[in-house]
Amino acid sequence: MTKKELLADRFERALVYATRLHRKQRRKGSGVPYAAHLLGVASLVLEDGGSEDEAIAALLHDAAEDRGGRARLEEIEREFGSRVAHTVEGCTDTDISPKPPWRPRKEAYVQALASHDASVRRV
């Protein structure tokens, strides 16, 4: 995304989709509405020069992990495209429920990040 480009309707659709998907969630420990986290990640991606696809993936980066697993990821691909879905998948440390224990899951995810592409690492 160049500085002259503006966000298109896809970003707005993703914003609505993400906030509806996570509307009943709060951040662990703080109780802040979960949408604040998603907006923060999207802001960081855009400020870093990320593309619209990366900003959309930032809004949706926890969707498969927290809200529907593989089926949610497939829906994201249909709605927002394969590049967005690829990035969301790369940001997903598990898509199974119940989730495996937190610490080993997060350690394995961080270790695997080095092998992911730039879009996944940016988000």
pLDDT digits (tens, 9 = 90+) for 29-72: 888 999 999 999 999 999 999 999 999 999 999 999 888 889 99
pLDDT digits (tens, 9 = 90+) for 2-22: 555 679 999 999 999 999 999
DSSP state, 101? P
CATH number of 9-122: 1.10.3210.10
HSE value, Cβ hemisphere, 13 Å, CA-based, for 34: 19
pLDDT digits (tens, 9 = 90+) for 22-39: 988 888 888 899 999 999
Are the C-beta atoms of residues 96 and 14 closer than 8 Å to each other? no
